[in-house]
């Protein structure tokens, strides 16, 4: 059996990101590891999130008595259960792991682990439920989309949606592997039609993105693709709690690498996230972790 996750003392350095905000988590080359390394654990909404790096062929045992356990592969791959960073394009993968152990493939694996105890609320009805707890949690503060982007556009003014808490997963040189950007959308909120085509900058680098659903408020929230902003035609893809969707970004079929625009941004069609609605009283938030992976590391298996 592998190392039991709960018994591994957190041994990954965590620092504050003074430029972009939130927290840095510093990882190493998987091939250089003799045993798995794990981050601290942060709790929010009754759930617990941590990150682990597993050496090639290494394994980690999971405490299935702690609740439902979901595992998202960031880089590398798992051989058991067989899992890669991206499922099929526009597809859906349930990331629930019912096995007592996960095992890395020949390149090792960097993974995010979400534990949902039995008493965790299925529906998040208030942002107060989502206050982060854990090391340096004061750096993980929620802001409305209006507060975050209001100086650039007025689209989000008055909308019930929040952004902010996130983790910059860094390699041994300090370069970003993935930014895990967590946000929420209240009932009916359309988080804008966009294509990430703006010029990349140090504050907003290019990325290959997928979304991992922490909670789906109405069960109807999900991604959509559309021919243009404002078009009536929308192809929708609901993404339930514990699921991740496959790539919406364009990629080269031969190499699996994201296709790049002339300005250095990743090529995407027009898309967005649309929260669902229902006839129940009160709010019900979609809670999403966007994994914004550096294009140099993103490869779609074909």
Tens-place pLDDT, residues 265-299: 999 999 999 999 999 999 999 999 999 999 999 99
**SS3 letters for 39-51?**
CCCEEECCEEEEE
Question: How much is the average pLDDT of 61-74?
Answer: 97
- Among the candidates 82, 116, 150, a domain finishes at 116
Question: How much is the average pLDDT of 242-264?
Answer: 97
The CATH number assigned to the domain holding 268 equals: 2.60.120.990
Please indicate, yes or no, whether residues 43 and 172 belong to a single structural domain of this protein: no
Percent of the chain with pLDDT over 90: 94
Please indicate, yes or no, whether residues 57 and 138 belong to a single structural domain of this protein: no
Quote the number of domains for the chain: 2
Q: Is the pLDDT of residue 49 over 80?
A: yes
Q: Is the pLDDT of residue 7 over 80?
A: no
For the four alpha carbons of 39, 257, 239 and 203, in that order, the dihedral sign comes to positive
Domain that holds residue 52: 13-116
pLDDT band at 1 (very low <50, low <70, confident <90, very high): very low
- Among the candidates 72, 93, 116, a domain finishes at 116
Question: How much is the average pLDDT of 119-139?
Answer: 98
Phi first, then psi: give them for residue 127, nearest 5 degrees. -65, -20
Q: Is the pLDDT of residue 144 over 60?
A: yes
pLDDT in tens, 186-224: 999 999 999 999 999 999 999 999 999 999 999 999 999
Question: How much is the average pLDDT of 169-193?
Answer: 98
Please indicate, yes or no, whether residues 183 and 258 belong to a single structural domain of this protein: yes
Q: Is the pLDDT of residue 43 over 90?
A: yes
pLDDT band at 9 (very low <50, low <70, confident <90, very high): confident
Please indicate, yes or no, whether residues 110 and 224 belong to a single structural domain of this protein: no
Please indicate, yes or no, whether residues 85 and 157 belong to a single structural domain of this protein: no
Looking at 7-11, 41-45, 145-149, 254-258, which range is the least confident one? 7-11
Q: How far apart are CA 296 and CA 177, in angstroms?
A: 9
Task: Please give the helix or strand (H or E) that residue 267 lies within, else none.
Answer: none
pLDDT band at 164 (very low <50, low <70, confident <90, very high): confident
Task: Please give the helix or strand (H or E) that residue 127 lies within, else none.
Answer: none
| Cβ–Cβ under 8 Å, residues 234 and 203 | no
Q: What is the pLDDT of residue 8?
A: 79
pLDDT band at 2 (very low <50, low <70, confident <90, very high): low
Please indicate, yes or no, whether residues 134 and 272 belong to a single structural domain of this protein: yes
Q: How far apart are CA 95 and CA 114, in angstroms?
A: 10
| Cβ–Cβ under 8 Å, residues 273 and 223 | yes
**What does the mean pLDDT of the chain come to?**
96
Please indicate, yes or no, whether residues 96 and 202 belong to a single structural domain of this protein: no
The CATH number assigned to the domain holding 88 equals: 2.60.120
- Among the candidates 116, 135, 156, a domain finishes at 116
Please indicate, yes or no, whether residues 90 and 203 belong to a single structural domain of this protein: no
Q: Which of 205, 231, 216 is nearest to 273 (CA)?
A: 216
32 domain-assigned: yes
Q: How far apart are CA 18 and CA 105, in angstroms?
A: 34
Please indicate, yes or no, whether residues 156 and 109 belong to a single structural domain of this protein: no
Q: What is the pLDDT of residue 288?
A: 98
Question: How much is the average pLDDT of 248-256?
Answer: 96
Please indicate, yes or no, whether residues 137 and 235 belong to a single structural domain of this protein: yes
Please indicate, yes or no, whether residues 154 and 221 belong to a single structural domain of this protein: yes
């Amino acid at each position: 059996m592998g190392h039991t996750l709960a018994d591994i003392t957190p041994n990954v350095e965590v620092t504050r990101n003074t430029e972009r905000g939130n927290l840095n988590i510093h990882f190493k080359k998987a091939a250089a590891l003799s045993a798995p390394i794990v981050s601290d654990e942060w709790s929010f909404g009754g759930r617990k999130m941590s990150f682990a790096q597993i050496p090639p062929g290494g394994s980690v045992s999971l405490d299935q008595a702690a609740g439902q356990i979901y595992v998202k592969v960031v880089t590398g791959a798992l051989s058991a259960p067989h899992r890669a960073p991206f499922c099929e394009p526009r597809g859906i993968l349930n990331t629930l792991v019912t096995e007592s152990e996960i095992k890395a493939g020949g390149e090792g694996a960097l993974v995010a682990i979400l534990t949902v105890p039995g008493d965790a609320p299925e529906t998040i009805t208030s942002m107060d439920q989502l206050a982060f707890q854990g090391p340096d949690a004061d750096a993980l503060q929620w802001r409305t989309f209006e507060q975050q982007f209001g100086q650039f556009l007025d689209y989000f003014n008055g909308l019930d949606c929040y952004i902010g808490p996130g983790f910059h997963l860094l390699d041994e040189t300090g370069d970003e592997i993935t930014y895990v950007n967590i946000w929420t959308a209240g009932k009916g909120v359309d988080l804008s039609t966009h294509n990430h085509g703006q010029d990349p900058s140090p504050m907003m680098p290019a990325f290959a993105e997928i979304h991992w659903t922490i909670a789906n408020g109405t069960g109807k929230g999900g991604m959509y693709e559309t021919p243009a902003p404002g078009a009536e035609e929308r192809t929708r893809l609901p993404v339930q709690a514990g699921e991740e969707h496959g790539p919406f970004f364009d990629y080269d079929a031969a190499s699996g690498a994201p296709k790049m625009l002339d300005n250095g941004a990743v090529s995407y069609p027009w898309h967005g996230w649309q929260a669902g609605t229902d006839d129940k009283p009160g709010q019900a938030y979609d809670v999403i972790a966007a994994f914004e992976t550096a294009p140099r590391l993103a490869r779609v298996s074909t």
